[in-house]
Structure 1
C-alpha cells in the first residue's frame, strides 16, 4: 500500500485533502500531515512516505526548500506541489527541482485522482526493483561519505595526493592544479532565534550545501560542497588558473541567490587560491580567518582573505612601532616581555580609544591575528585548549571593566608566548623537527637520508619510518617539496638561468630538474616563469 504525507499550513485544507484521497483510492494510506517543511521532515524521518503532497507557501520552511532537502535526504520520496494561481511561477520552479507533478488550488478531484493513479503505478514498479535499487543507493551513500571524509581531510591538511586519486576513482575528479576553499556560515539573525531553535539546525546546512553545489555545477566548475557542522558549510573549487575574480563573483552569486530564494542570509569566507593538494589546507585556513572578521564587519557579506586583511590591517589603526614590539615579544617566546608589553599596550588602547566599540574592534583584530599565527605554528590547541576562537572573542567583548579587560588580554597573549617558548624547547630535542630544520638549511646540497639520520643520531630505517609517521610524507618527498618551493620562488623573482636554479636548489642535473618540475607543477620551468612572473623579464636575463 503506497503511503502519502500531506503538508500545508492550513489545517482545514489538510483535512480536506485527506478525505479526498481516501475516497478516491482506498489503497493510498495517508500516514500523516504537517504544517510546514520542518515538521514534514521530522514526519518523513519516521513514516517513510512514498509521496509528499506539499503546499508552496508556508511559514518557516516553504515547499521549495522542503523539496530541496527531501531530494538530499529521501531520494526515493516523490514530491507533488500544490499552489494557488498567483504562485504558479513557484510551482514551475519546483518542477525544475524534480517535483513529480503539481496541483492548482482549489484542487479538483479528477486531477488529484489522475496524479494518484500515476504515482501508484510508479511506486509499484519501484517496489519490484527494490533490491538492486537499495544496493545502488547504499553504494551512493558510501561514495558520498568517503568523498566528504577525504575532502574534509584535504581542507585540514590530513590527506595527500593518493587520496585525491581515490576521489577520482569514485567520480570526484580534481584534475586542475589550483584550489580555493569557501566557508559559508548561516547568519542566525536572519532566521530568528525561535525559528532556528525549533528546527533541526542541520536542515539549514543541508539546504545551503545543496544550493552551493547546484550553483557550482551550473557554472560547469569542478567543485564539491559538504556540511562541516550545524553552523557551517564548506566548499572546495578546483581551478585551472590562479585568477580569483571569478571566485568572488561566484561567492557573491551564492550569497545573493540564497537570500532571494529563502530569505536567509549567509556570510562567506573565501581563502586564497592555493597550488597543489598539499596547499589546500592553507586556503581553508584563510577562509576560516576571513570568516572571523564577520565579528567586526557584520554578516551577509563575502569576506575574501586578501581584501579583508588589507582593509582591516591592524597596523593601519595602531602605533606600528609599539604594537610591533609587543607582537615580536609574543611570537619570539619572550614571556615576561610579552606580558608587560601586552598590559601596557592594551591599557593605552583603553585610555585613548574614543568609544568601547573601537576597543573591541581592535582587540578582535589583534586576537584574530595571533590566532592565525598560532594556527601556522600548530599551537592553537596548546594555546586555547578546548575553547573556540569565536566564543573566546565574544567572551572578551562582553567584559565591561577596563582592568578585567586588560588582564584577560594580557593572560591570553602571555599564554601564547609561553606556548611558543615551550614549543621551541621541545623542538630542540625532537629528531623530526631537527631533521626538518636541517633540510631547510641544506636542501641545496646533495644530502641523503642516511646523512640526516646521522645528524639526529637515529638508525636510518627507524628514522625513515618515524619521519613518514610524523609528517605524512617520505624523506625524499619532503626534500623535493622544499627544493621545488625554492625553485618556483627563484623562477618568479629572479632572472637567473634555469640551469643555475636547478644546480643551486640541489637537483643533480638539468634533465632531472625538468622531469621533477613538470611532474609537480604540471608546467615546464620556462612555462612556469612565463605564466607567473611578477614583472616582465629583462632581455639580458637569458635562460638555458
Structure 2
C-alpha cells in the first residue's frame, strides 16, 4: 500500500485532503500530516512515505525549501505541490526541485484522482524496473525521435515510412486528416521583468504539458516544444468537415485553462484540415499565418486561418483604386513604379485612416496577404532573407513617421515585386495564361474568381478587369462556356443521367444547370440530348445504306 504525507498550515485543508484521498483511492495510506516544512521533515525521517503532498507557502519552512531538502536526503520520495497563489514563479521553482505535478486550490476531486493515479504509476515503474536508467533513456529516445519526425512532418520532409516508425514508438497517425495548432505565449501577460528573470523554456514546457494533457483526453495527437516561443500540436482527425468544431473547442479549452491556472495568456493559430502526410506542412504554415493576425486582433484568442477578419478598407473608393494600382504595379511594373504606388497608398492611408493604429492594422493585413502570395510562389526566403514576417510587422508597427513608413513599405513591396517577377519568369507564364489553364483543369469544381486570382497572385478586382481585357469575356462567362461545352459532350457521347452530368461539370444543382444550359443553347438539356441522339441514329442509318 503506497503511503503519503500531507503538509499544509491549514488543518481544515489537511483533513479535507485526507478524506478525499480515502474516498478516491483506498489503496493510499495517509501516513501523517504536518503544519509546515519542519514538521514534515521529522515525519518523513520517521515514516519514509512514498509521496508528499505539500503546500508552497507555509510558516517557518515553505514548500520550496522542503523540496530542496527532500531532493537531497530522500530522492525516492515523490513530491506534488499545491498552491493557492496562481503565480507561475512558484510552479517553476517546484518543477526545478523535481516536483512530479502541481495542483491549484481549491483542489477538484477529478484532478486529485488523476494525480494519485500518476503517483501510483511512477511508484510501480520505480519498483518494477530492474534497470530504471535504461527505461528512462528509452523513453527519452522515443520522445526525441517522435519530436524529430513530427518536426519533419511540419516541414514537409517526412515519408510514409517515417509514419510507420512513429507508430512503432507509440505515435499513431492512422486517420486521414491532420490539423496543426501553434500555441504562443503572450509575453505581455507575464510581464517583461518576470519573463526575463525566468528560464523561457520553462514557460514552454508548462504550456506543452497542459496542451498534451488536453489533447490526450479529447483527440489523437502529439504536442511538443518547437522553439523558445512556440508549442505545436498536430491533431489527427477522421472527418474534414466536422473536424474544425472539435479542434476549436480544444483550442478554447487550452486557452482558458492556461489563463485560469497560471494568469498567463496564449494565442493559438489553427490551420485548416490537410489530407495526408504530405499536406501537414500546409496546415502548419496556415497556423503560423493565422498567428500573424495577433498584431491585428490582439492576443488571448484562437485564430483560424481563413477566418481572421480581413476588414474593409479604412478609406473608400479612392483607396480601392489605389490598391488596384498597387496590385498592378507589383504584378507588372518596375521597382520604381512599385515604390511610387506603395508610397501613394501609404500616404492616402495615413491621410484617411484616422488613427495610427488603423494605419498599422491596414498595413499588417496587406503585408500578411503578400506573405501568403510569396509562400505560394516559393520566393519568401528570397524576399525576406534571414528575417521572418513577424519581425517585419513589428518593425512596420514601430514606425511613427509618415515619410519613413512610405519609404519602408515602398522598398519592401518593390523587393517583393522583383522576387515575384523572377518566380513568374521561371514558370515562363503570364497570369492570364495560367488562369486559363487553371480554369480548364478545375471547371468541374466549385470555382470562384477570388480563388483563381489568388492562384495567379493578383487582386480579385484587378484580375477580373485584366481577364476581360485579355480574353474578351468575363471570368464567369469563360467558366460557364467551358462547363456547357463539356456537358454537351457528355450528353452526346454517354448515357449518364443529366443530374450526374450537371454535378460532374461543376453546377451546384440540376435546376441551376437547366437554367444556364437553356440560356446558353436555346434548349433544355433533355431536348439537346434527344436531338443529338436522333442525329446519331440517322447517321448510322445512312452508313448502312
Whether 1:338 aligns to 2:338 is: yes
For this pair of structures, how many residues does the alignment match? 420
Measure, in 2, the Cα distance between the counterparts of 1:195 and 1:140: 33
Structure 2 counterpart of 1:513: none
Residue correspondence of structure 1 range 28-427 to structure 2 within 5 A? 49-57=75-83, 58=85, 60-61=87-88, 87=105, 89=107, 93-98=111-116, 126=126, 129-131=129-131, 133-219=132-218, 221-243=219-241, 244-308=244-308, 311-313=309-311, 319-332=319-332, 334-425=334-425
Question: Does the C-alpha gap of structure 1 residues 7 and 181 become closer, same or farther in structure 2, counting only changes over 3 Å?
Answer: farther
User: Structure 1, residues 90-129: CA drift from partner, whole Å, max 9, x if none?
Assistant: 586244134777xxxxxxxxxxxxxxxx99x969x93783
> What displacement does 1:333 show?
6.7
Residue correspondence of structure 1 range 8-23 to structure 2 within 5 A? 13-22=36-45
Residues 56 and 91 in structure 1, CA contact (< 8 A), matched pair in contact too: no
> What displacement does 1:411 show?
1.0
User: Structure 1, residues 459-503: CA drift from partner, whole Å, max 9, x if none?
Assistant: xxxxxxxxxxxxxxxxxxxxxxxxxxxxxx99xx99979x97xx9
User: Structure 1, residues 239-269: CA drift from partner, whole Å, max 9, x if none?
Assistant: 2211222222221222122222332211111
Measure, in 2, the Cα distance between the counterparts of 1:95 and 1:330: 61
Structure 2 counterpart of 1:535: 508
Residues 70 and 77 in structure 2, CA contact (< 8 A), matched pair in contact too: no
Residues 185 and 229 in structure 2, CA contact (< 8 A), matched pair in contact too: yes
Question: Does the C-alpha gap of structure 1 residues 8 and 146 become closer, same or farther in structure 2, counting only changes over 3 Å?
Answer: farther
Measure, in 2, the Cα distance between the counterparts of 1:45 and 1:414: 60
User: Structure 1, residues 154-206: CA drift from partner, whole Å, max 9, x if none?
Assistant: 12222233322332232222222221111111112222223222222112222
Residues 36 and 62 in structure 2, CA contact (< 8 A), matched pair in contact too: no
Measure, in 2, the Cα distance between the counterparts of 1:126 and 1:92: 25
Residue correspondence of structure 1 range 480-499 to structure 2 within 5 A? none
Question: Does the C-alpha gap of structure 1 residues 44 and 24 become closer, same or farther in structure 2, counting only changes over 3 Å?
Answer: closer
Give the secondary structure class of the aligned counterpart of 2:259: helix
Measure, in 1, the Cα distance between the counterparts of 2:208 and 2:48: 38
> What displacement does 1:393 show?
1.4
Structure 1 counterpart of 2:455: none
Which consecutive residues of structure 2, in runs of 5 or more, have no partner in the other structure? 11-34, 429-433, 442-478, 494-499, 515-524, 527-545
Give the secondary structure class of the aligned counterpart of 1:49: coil
Measure, in 2, the Cα distance between the counterparts of 1:47 and 1:373: 60
Residues 7 and 55 in structure 1, CA contact (< 8 A), matched pair in contact too: no
Give the secondary structure class of the aligned counterpart of 2:348: helix
Measure, in 1, the Cα distance between the counterparts of 2:332 and 2:378: 15
> What displacement does 1:24 show?
5.7
Question: Does the C-alpha gap of structure 1 residues 183 and 496 become closer, same or farther in structure 2, counting only changes over 3 Å?
Answer: farther
Structure 1 counterpart of 2:539: none
Structure 2 counterpart of 1:455: none
> What displacement does 1:300 show?
0.8
Measure, in 2, the Cα distance between the counterparts of 1:270 and 1:394: 21
Measure, in 2, the Cα distance between the counterparts of 1:325 and 1:349: 14
Between 353-362 and 39-48, report the one with greater CA deviation: 39-48
Residues 86 and 262 in structure 2, CA contact (< 8 A), matched pair in contact too: no
Residues 222 and 237 in structure 1, CA contact (< 8 A), matched pair in contact too: yes
Residues 339 and 411 in structure 2, CA contact (< 8 A), matched pair in contact too: yes
Residues 78 and 99 in structure 1, CA contact (< 8 A), matched pair in contact too: no
TM-score by length of 2: 0.64
User: Structure 1, residues 481-529: CA drift from partner, whole Å, max 9, x if none?
Assistant: xxxxxxxx99xx99979x97xx9xxxxxxxxxxxxxxxxxxxxxx9xx8
Give the secondary structure class of the aligned counterpart of 1:174: coil
Measure, in 2, the Cα distance between the counterparts of 1:191 and 1:7: 29
Question: Does the C-alpha gap of structure 1 residues 213 and 65 become closer, same or farther in structure 2, counting only changes over 3 Å?
Answer: farther
Give the secondary structure class of the aligned counterpart of 1:419: helix
Residues 180 and 280 in structure 2, CA contact (< 8 A), matched pair in contact too: yes
Residues 224 and 232 in structure 2, CA contact (< 8 A), matched pair in contact too: yes
> What displacement does 1:307 show?
1.4
Measure, in 2, the Cα distance between the counterparts of 1:22 and 1:95: 27
Which consecutive residues of structure 1, in runs of 5 or more, have no partner in the other structure? 102-117, 429-436, 445-488, 504-525
Question: Does the C-alpha gap of structure 1 residues 301 and 128 become closer, same or farther in structure 2, counting only changes over 3 Å?
Answer: closer
> What displacement does 1:279 show?
1.8
Measure, in 2, the Cα distance between the counterparts of 1:290 and 1:228: 17
Measure, in 1, the Cα distance between the counterparts of 2:74 and 2:425: 59
> What displacement does 1:390 show?
1.5
